[in-house]
Amino acid sequence: MIEIKKSEKIIGLCPNLTIAAIECDVVNSDSSSKLWDEIHSVCKNLEKTKIQDVKKNINIAATRTAYKATGKDPNRYRPSAESLQRRIIRGLGLYKINTLVDLINLVSLKSGFSIGGFDAEKIKGDLVLTVGEKEDIFYGIGRGLLNIEGLPVYKDSVGGIGTPTSDEERTKIQNNTSKLLMLINGYSGKEYLPDTVEYSLDLLTQYVEATNIDVRYI
């Protein structure tokens, strides 16, 4: 089990933050047609939303407020949940990666939480959630070198692995990932997390055969 802590700095800046951590063994795959049926259903409902209303989602709004507190402009570095919802509303559709990543994107789309999904076997040591610094080197998945100064960031003993804007290449989920760490970032507090955790567990059990499941609130 990976130990996860919040730094004193992040606690001071984001006092309502609660993290839901899910660790489990999984069987990943290229794609799942049944999962995509669920994704298309959620996307169809989202398409009815006005793009200016995305920021009104309570979980997206709380993440944007956290960015302002930690020193990042949420209009330049959008939280991933906001970016996903805006993409759907603009009619661009959701890209296919693999079943685990697609599943996590679905949970994020539906809930408004920015969610970190990591290959747990690639994480070195324990994790601490802190605030990115100028000298941090961080390669966002599909984004190249990302300036994470002022972003909330999970760090292991090597460096940053995840922010609410993007996860890092080093610990990304691939088709052969067999141990998952999923971090649901509740900057709005714990109130809305349990339902999202329950939904996540249902999807994980159904689509990636999740076993040895551990759930913690931090």
β-pairing, 179-186 vs 18-25, is antiparallel
The domains of the chain are located at 4-217
d(CA 58, CA 70): 18
CATH of 4-217, one of 3.80.10.10, 3.50.40.10, 3.40.47.10, 3.40.50.720: 3.50.40.10
pLDDT at 80: 97
Q: What angle do CA 66, 22, 30 make, to 5 degrees?
A: 105
pLDDT at 209: 98
CB distance 116 to 167 below 8 Å? yes
Q: What pLDDT band is residue 149 in, cutting at 50, 70 and 90?
A: very high
d(CA 157, CA 106): 30
For 188-217, the pLDDT digits (tens) are 999 999 999 999 999 999 999 999 999 999
pTM value?
Answer: 0.96
pLDDT at 74: 95
* Residue 43 token pair: 């996307």
Residue with tokens 């949940």: 81
For 56-106, the pLDDT digits (tens) are 999 999 999 999 999 999 999 999 999 999 999 999 999 999 999 999 999
Q: What pLDDT band is residue 127 in, cutting at 50, 70 and 90?
A: very high
